[in-house]
Amino acid sequence: MSLLDLDRDHKCVLMFGGKGGVGKTTCSATTALHYALAGNKTLIISSDLTPSLSDIFEMEIGPVERQIEGVENLYGLEIGPEEVMKRWKEKFGPEVYEAASAIVDMEYDEVINYVAIAPGIQEEFMLDYIVERVRDGGYDLVVWDTAPAGDTLRLLGLPYKFIEHLRMAPKFYLGVLDTLNLKKTPLLELVESWRALAEEITDFIRDPQKTKFMLVTIPEALGVYQTQRLVREFKRYGFDIPYLIINNVIKEPDCDFHRKRREMQIAYIEMLVREYGEEMKIIQLPLFPYEMKGVERLKELERVLFSP
Ligand SMILES: Nc1ncnc2c1ncn2[C@@H]1O[C@H](COP(=O)(O)OP(=O)(O)OP(=O)(O)O)[C@@H](O)[C@H]1O
Ligand SMILES: [Mg+2]
């Protein structure tokens, strides 16, 4: 089975989400490795504040795309909100200043820092940055290892707030401009172009062909409850979750301790299958006796995750 049948021409983003510590980074890294080994130029991005990719691939990754040692088509990137903001300022700063300075008399930094705190703008440009990697960065696939659950939803929800904000902006600025008796300014054009950008990105993440969500969980009460909450939330935002990975499953218990845990797990696995078996593809991943670190270990997991 291939987790996804990727059309090589079909550039997409795979997003991994779920509760803290359930195996998001492990599953993202394994999936990225799989598609890279199959010849797709793949980028794995972590937007988590803690640099988890560096740990799992046992090399320093950081905010500049780097090839993963020993894997030809695989690149990694760890990028936090601060770095995104920095790049946003580089990309849009001069344009914003030029537009704003036509109507207000402010210092460059004042203007840029003021605009940079608009609601949702940070999330918007994080998404923009990621979508840009797959559209213009020459990658066949971007695998996105997100921060734990709540943050991901915030990330997905805020661009709408940003769009709303921009929807109101022309009215607001027009009000200001009326008093200044100006008809059309670069600022309005800029706001309009951002709105178009925000909508383009929202369309990209809403298109199930372009952005696919993979939910990771574990067969325990907290894992199941969190999954139920997340699925509800995702649906509220209009996103489908085609895949659910149940991680840390004890397959062959050989002692009382593990037999008991296995029994406990089965009840939760059955619950998940009953509830989501029809709408999602559910994949069970075994609990390994060691931690998943380094390309060789990930290859073992890759064989299980993508076994026929
Ligand atoms: N199937 C597995 N078998 C054994 N160990 C595993 C398995 N999956 C994950 N682990 C281990 O569990 C720990 C947590 O996994 P991981 O870092 O992938 O979770 P995460 O969801 O990304 O966590 P966070 O929310 O903190 O980012 C790691 O030490 C990893 O090696
Ligand atoms: Mg992680």
- pLDDT tens-digit series, residues 206-224: 888 888 889 999 999 999 9
**Ligand 1 centroid from CA 217, angstroms:** 11
Predicted local confidence at residue 155, as pLDDT: 59
Average pLDDT over residues 18-40: 93
Atom 19 in ligand 1: residue holding the nearest Cα? 23
User: Is-contact 173 83, C-beta < 8 A?
Assistant: no
Predicted local confidence at residue 33, as pLDDT: 96
Identify which has the larger pLDDT, 96 or 281: 281
Predicted local confidence at residue 264, as pLDDT: 97
**Ligand 1 centroid from CA 245, angstroms:** 13
Ligand 1: atom nearest CA of 28 is 18
Identify which has the larger pLDDT, 41 or 79: 41
Average pLDDT over residues 128-156: 76
Crossing angle of the two packed helices 149-180 and 186-206, in degrees rounded to 10: 160
CA dihedral 266, 268, 271, 277 (to 10 degrees): -80
**Ligand 1 centroid from CA 11, angstroms:** 27
The residue whose two tokens read 């073992």 is 300
CATH class of 12-79+137-151+209-305: alpha beta
Query: Which ligand places an atom closest to the C-alpha of 22?
Result: 1
Least confident of 48-52, 118-122, 275-279, 286-290: 118-122
Question: Does any ligand 1 atom lie closer than 6 A to the CB of residue 47?
Answer: no
Least confident of 13-17, 118-122, 201-205, 220-224: 118-122
Residue 289 confidence (pLDDT) above 70: yes
Question: Does any ligand 1 atom lie closer than 6 A to the CB of residue 218?
Answer: no
Residue 262 confidence (pLDDT) above 50: yes
- The predicted-structure confidence for 66-118, as pLDDT tens digits, reads as follows 999 999 999 999 988 788 888 888 887 887 787 777 766 778 888 777 777 76
Predicted local confidence at residue 1, as pLDDT: 43
Ligand 1: atom nearest CA of 48 is 27
Predicted local confidence at residue 87, as pLDDT: 83
- What the block records as the tokens of 107 is 């210092």
Q: Which residues surround ligand 2, an ion (CB under 5 A)?
A: 24-25, 52
Question: Does any ligand 1 atom lie closer than 6 A to the CB of residue 46?
Answer: no
Question: Does any ligand 1 atom lie closer than 6 A to the CB of residue 152?
Answer: no
Atom 15 in ligand 1: residue holding the nearest Cα? 23
When mean pLDDT is compared over 69-73, 109-113, 172-176, 235-239, the highest value belongs to: 69-73
Identify which has the larger pLDDT, 30 or 194: 30
Asked whether the CA dihedral 158, 160, 164, 167 is positive or negative, the reply is: positive
Half-sphere exposure of 42 (CA within 13 A, CB side): 24
Residue 150 confidence (pLDDT) above 60: no
Domain boundaries, the chain: 12-79+137-151+209-305, 83-127+157-203
